[in-house]
Amino acid sequence: MKLSMEEVEHVALLARLALSEEEKERFGAQLSSILEYADRINQLDTTRVDPTYHVLPLQNVSRLDERGATLAPDDVFQNAPDRDGSYFRVPRIL
Amino acid sequence: MEIYDLTAHELADLLQRGEMTSEEVTGAIFQRIHDVEPDIQAYVTITEEQAYEAARQVDGERRQGKDLPYLAGVPAGLKDVLCTRGIRTTCSSRMLEHFIPPYSATVVEKLAAAGAVFTGKLNMDEFAMGSSTENSAFFPTHNPWDLSRVPGGSSGGPAAAVAAGEAPYALGTDTGGSIRQPASLCGIVGLKPTYGLVSRYGMVAFASSLDQIGPMTKDVRDCALVLNLIAGYDPLDSTSAPGAGLGAVPDYTAFLTGEIRGLRIGVPREFFGDGLDSAVAEAVKASLGKLAGLGAVVDECSFPHAEYSVPCYYLIAPAEASSNLARYDGVHYGYRAVAENGGAYDLMEMYTNTRSQGFGAEVKRRIMLGTYALSSGYYDAYYLQALKLRTLIRDDFNRLFDQFDAIVSPTSPTPPFRLGEKSDDPLSMYLSDVYTIPVNLAGIPAISIPCGYTDGLPVGLQLMGPVFSEGTLLRIAHAFEQDTPYHQDRAPLKRGHAAVSPAGREGGDSHGRL
């Protein structure tokens, strides 16, 4: 399982990571060896095995639509990298 | 023994008898922190002022004759993955270096309500990804038993702090062994509870189907006492087990009877094979003899899918992480990259530069691995296949628990390794978790307790049980502990051979105190 440079770049794009050339080389080689090791899971025939997504027998946990305590806006906005009043400012997208 | 050497229950007894105040105990712990932090480096943030305030509050209430929870006034440390309102929570990442949570984790609220005095936030592998705490973006933590060695990870800060007397107990988190492996490497007790027993609300998520919060303590009684405080259903966590799976949460100290006659303990032969250090194997095998001597029925058994646990985990956990960590986009909180020389990034450049500069190497590696495993064309072969293996691993455990009350293994295949020894080889680092990972995949509880030494370094014994069997695990662990001297030993804080310069570590560009 050897990852090509194109695959490394594609995955980095999907993951929203800007990698240096050195990182692409290094991660490419490391991911290849990890995937080669992980490939042993494909030695087993699992056609009749159900996947386990989650260990608890819970589904669709919901709560009553009731008003509860909310976070203080000042507490929340103090962490904003770029703020304009009660807005988060981002680079223009249009 | 010094005050900082005492267990939480010993300190609680001193407080109850009026022999010391919480302020005095807190003072003794901070004196210890100031004395040994330069060598250990367990704390990312020290909250001395708030701690004294909390201690004085408890002392005042006690003077007024108020009926206080047993551990009220006893100091405690928190892994820096647990949100603390108004106190910086970094996950040992540049991404969250200046993040001030607007709310506290449920476990933090519960401990605070029980009168805990928080000493500060403890170092960890960045976003809990690692087995040595060398992946902290700030500095590595050192093992109190040999300062040239790692404390394990990812809860290396909590483990080292408890072992060095810098916190009577701490809370850690465990996704693939992150409580138990550092507990083993630092000679303390660490419990990973059943998935869903302890609320994860306010814990920064790594892999949501595997993460659990648990106690890291000096002995088994402390472990039971802390579990009493943090266990239970939480409507704020949609994966919290209703009724904690057993109606009301029991008093876990009631299980500490010292009596384990007739309990059936299984020893999977696959957990004693290749890769296990011979001295560790010897210490663990001697422990099996002790358990049998206490009246337990110890028998060999088989865990057929053991060899698939690590590859299964290193597909599922990164896949979940790649999704969870997508939130760090530089918009609402955390680090945002800014273009140099007055230039401006477009949105995509802002995302990619923020994430590349904010995350360290191991986090990027796991995001890449998880993204790959989930991507079109590879989903079935990797992610879905890993989920099916997860079923087979659970089935192995379920079969074993028809025959046994608990399963035993080493916690870590090796004693603590040297700083820098494995940091260039991710796969070899991943194999540190070979005995702890199956537990998270199955969602069952497991505890690590000290069971001996090799060359002056602690060895840990892992006990695993069926879901919600914490009581039985604590009972066995306590009986073993009371029959052995290890829980009374304290780390010597000796200097080993020259530590590797933190500057040489991959992904870390700063080793200064924050």
Per DSSP, helices labelled H in B122-250 are 156-163, 180-186, 220-230
Percent of chain B with pLDDT over 90: 90
Report CA torsion sign: B40, B485, B447, B313: positive
Inspect the interface and report whether the beta carbons of A81 and B196 lie closer than 8 Å: no
Cβ of A64 under 8 Å from any chain B Cβ? no
Residue B356 neighbours by CB distance under 10 Å: 18
Q: pLDDT, tens digit, for every residue of B17-45?
A: 999 999 999 999 999 999 999 999 999 99
**A76 to chain B, closest Cα gap in Å:** 6
What is the pLDDT averaged over residues B282-291?
98
Reported as a pLDDT band with limits 50, 70 and 90, residue B493 is: very high
The mean pLDDT value of chain B amounts to: 94
The confidence score (pLDDT) of residue B503 equals: 39
Rounded distance between C-alpha atoms, residue B361 and residue A16, angstroms: 15
The confidence score (pLDDT) of residue B342 equals: 84
Chain B's closest residue to A30, CA to CA, is B426
Rounded distance between C-alpha atoms, residue A68 and residue A55, angstroms: 29
Cβ of B371 under 8 Å from any chain A Cβ? yes
- B268 has pLDDT over 70: yes
- B505 has pLDDT over 90: no
Q: Which of A38, A52, A75 is opposite residue B315, by nearest beta carbon? A: A38
Rounded distance between C-alpha atoms, residue B384 and residue B367, angstroms: 17
Inspect the interface and report whether the beta carbons of A54 and B356 lie closer than 8 Å: no
Mutate to test the interface with A, among B236, B238, B368 (most CBs of A within 10 A): B368
- Contact (CB, 8 A) for B76 and B116: yes
Does the structural domain B3-263+465-505 have CATH classification 1.10.10.350?
no
> Is A66 a domain residue?
no
What is the pLDDT averaged over residues B369-378?
95
Cβ of B318 under 8 Å from any chain A Cβ? no
Reported as a pLDDT band with limits 50, 70 and 90, residue B500 is: very low
**A65 to chain B, closest Cα gap in Å:** 13
Residue A74 neighbours by CB distance under 10 Å: 8
Range B370-382 burial, b when 16+ CB lie within 10 A, else e: bbbbbbeebeebb
CB-side neighbour CA atoms (13 Å) of B53: 5
- B497 has pLDDT over 90: no
- B128 has pLDDT over 50: yes
Inspect the interface and report whether the beta carbons of B443 and A56 lie closer than 8 Å: yes
Cβ of A22 under 8 Å from any chain B Cβ? no
**pLDDT beneath 50: ranges in chain A:** none
Cβ of B220 under 8 Å from any chain A Cβ? no
ipTM of the shown complex: 0.96
A15-29, A32-46, B72-86, B421-435: segment of lowest average pLDDT: B421-435
Rounded distance between C-alpha atoms, residue B133 and residue B155, angstroms: 7
Residues of B with CB below 8 A from A80's CB?
332-333
Inspect the interface and report whether the beta carbons of B239 and A93 lie closer than 8 Å: no
B396-410, B438-452, B486-500: segment of lowest average pLDDT: B486-500
> Is A80 a domain residue?
no
Inspect the interface and report whether the beta carbons of A52 and B387 lie closer than 8 Å: yes
**A34 to chain B, closest Cα gap in Å:** 6
What is the pLDDT averaged over residues B228-235?
94
Nearest partner of B80 among B142, B128, B33, judged by Cα: B128
Look at chain A and report how many structural domains it folds into. Answer: 1
Instruction: Tell me, yes or no, if B66 is annotated catalytic.
Output: no
Cβ of B201 under 8 Å from any chain A Cβ? no
The confidence score (pLDDT) of residue B310 equals: 95
**B252 to chain A, closest Cα gap in Å:** 22
Inspect the interface and report whether the beta carbons of B239 and A12 lie closer than 8 Å: no
Rounded distance between C-alpha atoms, residue B178 and residue B204, angstroms: 14
The confidence score (pLDDT) of residue A59 equals: 78
The confidence score (pLDDT) of residue B496 equals: 64
Q: Which of A18, A63, A81 is opposite residue B352, by nearest beta carbon? A: A18
Q: DSSP class of residue A40?
A: G
Residues of B with CB below 8 A from A18's CB?
349, 352-353, 355-356
Domain with A21, as residue range(s), is 5-42
Inspect the interface and report whether the beta carbons of B389 and A46 lie closer than 8 Å: yes
The confidence score (pLDDT) of residue B246 equals: 55
The confidence score (pLDDT) of residue B506 equals: 41
Q: Which one is catalytic: B178, B309, B409, B469?
A: B178
Domain with residue A17: its CATH number is: 1.10.20.60
Inspect the interface and report whether the beta carbons of B307 and A40 lie closer than 8 Å: yes
The confidence score (pLDDT) of residue B509 equals: 34
Torsion angles phi and psi, residue A88, rounded to 5: -90, 125
The confidence score (pLDDT) of residue B60 equals: 98
What is the pLDDT averaged over residues B345-349?
95
Q: Which of A33, A42, A78 is opposite residue B385, by nearest beta carbon? A: A42
Inspect the interface and report whether the beta carbons of B308 and A44 lie closer than 8 Å: yes
Mutate to test the interface with B, among A4, A30, A34, A88 (most CBs of B within 10 A): A34
Which of B 327-366 lie inside 8 A of A, CB atoms?
A: 329-336, 344-353, 355-356, 359, 361, 364-365
Amino acid B440 reads: N
Q: Which of A10, A37, A61 is opposite residue B427, by nearest beta carbon? A: A37
Rounded distance between C-alpha atoms, residue B365 and residue B393, angstroms: 26
Q: Which one is catalytic: B154, B155, B287, B448?
A: B154
Q: How far is CA A64 from CA A61, A68, B105, B232, B235, in A?
A: 10, 10, 22, 20, 11
- Contact (CB, 8 A) for B405 and B265: yes
- Contact (CB, 8 A) for B37 and B249: no
- B73 has pLDDT over 80: yes
What is the pLDDT averaged over residues B320-346?
95
Chain A's closest residue to B304, CA to CA, is A44
**B401 to chain A, closest Cα gap in Å:** 16
- B6 has pLDDT over 90: yes
- Contact (CB, 8 A) for B200 and B230: no
Residues of A with CB below 8 A from B322's CB?
15
- Which tops the pLDDT comparison, B274 or B403? B403
Reported as a pLDDT band with limits 50, 70 and 90, residue B341 is: confident
Rounded distance between C-alpha atoms, residue B292 and residue A92, angstroms: 69
Q: pLDDT, tens digit, for every residue of B184-194?
A: 999 999 999 99
The confidence score (pLDDT) of residue B514 equals: 41
Q: pLDDT, tens digit, for every residue of A40-50?
A: 999 999 999 99
Q: How far is CA B503 from CA A24, B508, B512, in A?
A: 22, 7, 10
Cβ of A24 under 8 Å from any chain B Cβ? no
The confidence score (pLDDT) of residue B244 equals: 54
Provide the 3-class DSSP secondary structure of residue A73.
helix
Rounded distance between C-alpha atoms, residue B154 and residue B140, angstroms: 11
> Is A27 a domain residue?
yes
The confidence score (pLDDT) of residue B402 equals: 98
Instruction: Tell me, yes or no, if B79 is annotated catalytic.
Output: yes
Instruction: Tell me, yes or no, if B154 is annotated catalytic.
Output: yes
- B297 has pLDDT over 80: yes
Query: CA B64, B231, B264: angle at the middle one, nearest 5?
Result: 125
- B247 has pLDDT over 80: no
Q: DSSP class of residue B440?
A: H
